[in-house]
Amino acid sequence: MATGNINVSVENIFPLIKKFLYSDHEIFLRELISNATDATLKLKHLTSIGETNVTYGNPTIEVKIDKEKKQLHIIDQGLGMTAEEVEKYINQVAFSGAEEFLEKYKDSAKDSGIIGHFGLGFYSAFMVADKVEIITKSYKDEPAAHWVCDGSPTYTLEAHDKTERGTEIILHIGDDDAEFLEENRISELLVKYNKFMPVSIKFGTKTETLPKPEGAKEEDPAPTQEVDNIINNPTPAWTKQPTDLKDEDYKGFYRELYPMQFEEPLFNIHLNVDYPFNLTGILYFPKLGQDMNIQKDKIQLYQNQVFVTDNVEGIVPEFLTMLRGVIDSPDIPLNVSRSYLQADGAVKKISSYITRKVADKLNSIFKNDREDFEKKWNDIKVVIEYGMLSEDKFYEKADKFTLYPTVDDTYFTFEELQEKIKDSQTDKDGKLIVLYASNKDEQHSYITTAKDKGYEVLLLDSPIVSHLIQKLETTKENISFVRVDGDHIDNLIKKDEETISKLSDEEKETLKTDLEKVIPTDKYTVQLEAMDSGASPFIITQPEFMRRMKEMQQTGGGGMNMFGNMPEMYNLIVNTNHELIGEIFNSKTDKKKERLIKQSLDLARLSQNLLKGEELTSFIKRSYEMIK
């Protein structure tokens, strides 16, 4: 038997491992199963190139709990190690790897929440075990080796009588980590980290029901048998070629990923690139609707089919974190902080590749099946709009397929919209005016008025639309968006001929003074205007700019909250050609005048949803009095 001292400069690295990576204790299992997988795949490779004539067969990795002895076993049928290789790979390589890792990250580990993923490898076993044994038999014709280490730098290495090829790791689980002797806990970890690993993983057995033999009676129980419980799918959809997968396969994989999710995804994007970086994966567009506050940890990151994290912040652009699915790339550095990650060149390339793929996919659906794209639009628009706001590259592509639905469910692209309104909706300077509503019910009367005049009214109702409009106005030339209840649209849209006012300028002055005696001018700016006699007598509008700034601030516009605190200001447009205005003007008594103005103002407020509470109650009461 040989004993020796492991050659590390840090006297005892195990307390360090425990201390610094405390929260990540559970990763030991992933590390050991990764090693078992590597060893199995290495053997596969050796047999495939004819390096050895051992039969590869159908190897599995087995995880076993021995509660009595407080042991956890990880057993593989991979290429194994000779005693010499244990010396080299475990005592030297693994130890120095662990040491290097800790040296590098021990300071940052505590505060920056670095990901303890990968790099610790085999030695992460000591996070949960007081003593670790390796019993390993190489595929080469050499005796098996037995290595034991109790966490001090001293180890023993002797021969063992194991005859089957492969490696068994035995962890003597420490009292603080007894949870890892619980079947449920191990099962949970296997599902979390190893669900899609490329070698079959066995954990216990399960009972399988067999078909009843012929001639069995109704009441006879169906026969059962105990079979290996394989916890993983070694060939998940993303590892296959897109050409080998049908729509059903993609949907099936979605269910595999999210067993608790009952709604089907809208469509998927298969990622597959091997130059200049390696990346595979499948992203899904779930039904999003208007909700921006959906869970953002639904994309899972893998490296060579090993689960790493479900926090892909910094790896995919923020707007795509609303999607679901899997990304698998060995080229993403993981032992680093998120801020470093975002600055990393490879990661930047990955992020822009994903953005481009998503844009291309959307474009192809738009081009090939516009009807389907229109149908899905309302469920995907928040992602697209958010992407247009936050990623210029995406904006450029999305500008061609972003849809602008009208209140009557016609879907225009921006170009189509421009074409449609270029003659009918321009102001006196030739600027294009896009009219939109944000709520069909609340703005019903305004929408009707605009439509009666033959204008197109868009329905833009997503929560970030004010930001998008702002961006469109600055990137596109000569265009303004105006909400239907915004600064009166007739001011903006060029008219062929002015309507002649029935009142003289002098009369208008008198009327204005009368109105302003009753109307609270701190809230309403009174504007007299000669309109068609069929138009409403009083119309309340809200300055587009102010309203939009307030909305933008509410949905995260950043900067100071200067608009949010400003009082609501409205325009009150009075149609001097309306009969009622004439009646107000000609009223004999001040009392009657006041009553008419008050009542008209309240009706206008009512149509804008601005009459509430006590004011609404007294309006109703007053109205009953009037018709009595």
Residue nearest to ligand ADP (CB): 121
Round to whole Å and give the CA distance between 42 and 80. Answer: 10
* Residue in 8, 93, 526, 616 binding ligand ADP, rule: CB under 6 A: 93
Binder of residue 94, out of Mg ion, ligand ADP, none (CB less than 5 to 8 A by kind)? ligand ADP
# residues near Mg ion by CB under 5 A: 2
* Residue in 24, 26, 62, 76 binding ligand ADP, rule: CB under 6 A: 76
Residue number, 168 or 328, with CB nearest to ligand ADP: 168
Answer for the pair 355, 327: CB distance below 8 angstroms, yes or no. Answer: no
Residue number, 98 or 231, with CB nearest to Mg ion: 98
Residue number, 124 or 576, with CB nearest to Mg ion: 124
Round to whole Å and give the CA distance between 137 and 289. Answer: 57
* Residue in 81, 170, 315, 489 binding ligand ADP, rule: CB under 6 A: 81
Stretch that binds ligand ADP, among 31-39, 250-258, 303-311, 384-392 (CB under 6 A): 31-39
3-state secondary structure of 245: coil
Which residues, at least 6 apart from 326, have a Cβ–Cβ distance to it below 8 Å?
Answer: 196, 236, 238, 257, 281, 282, 283, 299, 300, 301, 302
Round to whole Å and give the CA distance between 435 and 238. Answer: 44
Residue number, 119 or 463, with CB nearest to ligand ADP: 119
Query: Nearest CA to 358 among 259, 249, 431, 267?
Result: 267
Length of the chain: 628
Work out how close the CB of 129 gets to ligand ADP at its nearest, in angstroms, rounded to a whole number.
14
Residue number, 94 or 398, with CB nearest to ligand ADP: 94
Round to whole Å and give the CA distance between 558 and 565. Answer: 14
3-state secondary structure of 153: coil
# residues near ligand ADP by CB under 6 A: 17
Rule CB under 6 A: is residue 35 a binding residue for ligand ADP?
Answer: yes
* Residue in 90, 128, 515, 604 binding ligand ADP, rule: CB under 6 A: 90
Rule CB under 5 A: is residue 121 a binding residue for Mg ion?
Answer: yes
DSSP annotation of 267 reads: E
Query: Nearest CA to 280 among 288, 289, 269?
Result: 269
Answer for the pair 277, 347: CB distance below 8 angstroms, yes or no. Answer: no
Work out how close the CB of 77 gets to ligand ADP at its nearest, in angstroms, rounded to a whole number.
10
Query: Among residue numbers 112 through 131, which ones bind ligand ADP (CB under 6 A)?
Result: 121-122
Round to whole Å and give the CA distance between 164 and 82. Answer: 13
Helix (H) or strand (E) holding 313: none
Work out how close the CB of 100 gets to ligand ADP at its nearest, in angstroms, rounded to a whole number.
11
The backbone torsions φ and ψ at residue 571, rounded to the nearest 5 degrees and listed phi first, read -100, 140
Binder of residue 78, out of ligand ADP, Mg ion, none (CB less than 5 to 8 A by kind)? ligand ADP
Binder of residue 286, out of ligand ADP, Mg ion, none (CB less than 5 to 8 A by kind)? none
- Tokens 């592509």 belong to which residue? 397
Which amino acid type is present at position 601?
A: L
Query: Nearest CA to 519 among 578, 577, 584?
Result: 584
Stretch that binds Mg ion, among 9-17, 74-82, 119-127, 172-180 (CB under 5 A): 119-127
Work out how close the CB of 120 gets to Mg ion at its nearest, in angstroms, rounded to a whole number.
9
SS3 content of the chain, % helix, strand, coil (to 5): 40, 20, 35
* Residue in 13, 72, 94, 144 binding ligand ADP, rule: CB under 6 A: 94
Rule CB under 6 A: is residue 26 a binding residue for ligand ADP?
Answer: no
Residue nearest to Mg ion (CB): 121
Binder of residue 374, out of ligand ADP, Mg ion, none (CB less than 5 to 8 A by kind)? none
Give buried/exposed letters for 218-251 (b at 16+ CB in 10 A, else e).
eeeeeeeeeeeeebbbeebbbbbeeeebeeeebe
Answer for the pair 181, 174: CB distance below 8 angstroms, yes or no. Answer: no
Stretch that binds ligand ADP, among 72-80, 156-164, 257-265, 300-308 (CB under 6 A): 72-80
Rule CB under 5 A: is residue 116 a binding residue for Mg ion?
Answer: no
Answer for the pair 560, 549: CB distance below 8 angstroms, yes or no. Answer: no
Work out how close the CB of 73 gets to ligand ADP at its nearest, in angstroms, rounded to a whole number.
12
* Residue in 13, 27, 33, 39 binding ligand ADP, rule: CB under 6 A: 39
Rule CB under 6 A: is residue 36 a binding residue for ligand ADP?
Answer: yes
Rule CB under 5 A: is residue 194 a binding residue for Mg ion?
Answer: no
Query: Among residue numbers 18 through 77, which ones bind Mg ion (CB under 5 A)?
Result: 35
Residue number, 38 or 529, with CB nearest to ligand ADP: 38
Query: Among residue numbers 155 through 194, which ones bind ligand ADP (CB under 6 A)?
Result: 167
Binder of residue 167, out of Mg ion, ligand ADP, none (CB less than 5 to 8 A by kind)? ligand ADP
Backbone angle region of 425, left / alpha / beta, with phi > 0 → left and psi within -120 to 50 → alpha:
beta
Chain residues in the site for Mg ion (CB under 5 A) = 35, 121
Q: Residues interacting with ligand ADP, by CB under 6 A?
A: 31, 35-36, 38-39, 76, 78, 80-81, 89-90, 93-94, 97, 121-122, 167
